[in-house]
């Protein structure tokens, strides 16, 4: 990059300097550009605090407390109720650290039964 700038400062065209160094001309422009700090955009249709509280109340109610958001969404739609999208439900649950508790539980590892034989005719199994 410094070789490109040195060539350009000595009066060589930027196109020729870029060709000699082997980089695109736009690279220098991008490197010099200072990133502009932009304020975070808040969507106009963002659900407010009251709506989020309502989502949490429904999701944590008795019939839905053990269900994942996709099943809650389907059951609410079957009852002709649209509360929010599935992704919004996940977002609200994630903000309140409730996502991991609702995921499908893994079954614990089963202990393999150990068959001990001390004499003939005690165990009939193919697993010996």
Tell me 72's DSSP state.
Answer: H
**In the predicted model, what is the mean pLDDT of the chain?**
87
Measured between alpha carbons, how far is residue 93 from residues 17, 70, 73, 74, 117 in Å? 55, 12, 13, 17, 53
Is it the case that residue 34 has pLDDT exceeding 80? Answer: yes
Say what the pLDDT of residue 102 is.
59
Say what the pLDDT of residue 74 is.
96
Are 84 and 47 a contacting pair, CB within 8 Å?
yes
Average pLDDT over residues 110-123: 85
Are 105 and 114 a contacting pair, CB within 8 Å?
no
Are 71 and 102 a contacting pair, CB within 8 Å?
no
Say what the pLDDT of residue 101 is.
58
Is it the case that residue 105 has pLDDT exceeding 80? Answer: no
Cα torsion 60, 63, 65, 67: sign = negative
0.75 cut: is pTM over it?
no
Is it the case that residue 77 has pLDDT exceeding 90? Answer: yes
The single residue listed with the structure tokens 């269900």 is 67
Residue pLDDT, tens place only, 37-71: 999 998 898 999 999 999 999 999 999 988 889 99
């Amino acid at each position: 990059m410094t070789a490109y700038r040195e060539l350009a400062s000595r009066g060589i065209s930027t196109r020729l300097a870029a060709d000699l160094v082997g980089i695109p001309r736009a690279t220098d422009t991008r490197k010099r550009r200072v990133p502009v700090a932009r304020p975070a955009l808040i969507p106009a249709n963002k659900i407010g605090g009251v709506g989020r509280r309502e989502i949490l109340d429904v999701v944590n109610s008795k019939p839905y407390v053990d269900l994942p958001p996709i099943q809650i969404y389907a059951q609410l739609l079957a009852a002709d109720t649209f509360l929010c999208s599935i992704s919004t439900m996940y977002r609200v649950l994630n903000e309140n650290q409730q996502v991991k508790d609702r995921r499908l539980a893994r079954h614990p590892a089963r202990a393999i039964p150990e068959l001990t034989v001390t004499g003939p005719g005690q165990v009939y199994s193919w697993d010996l």
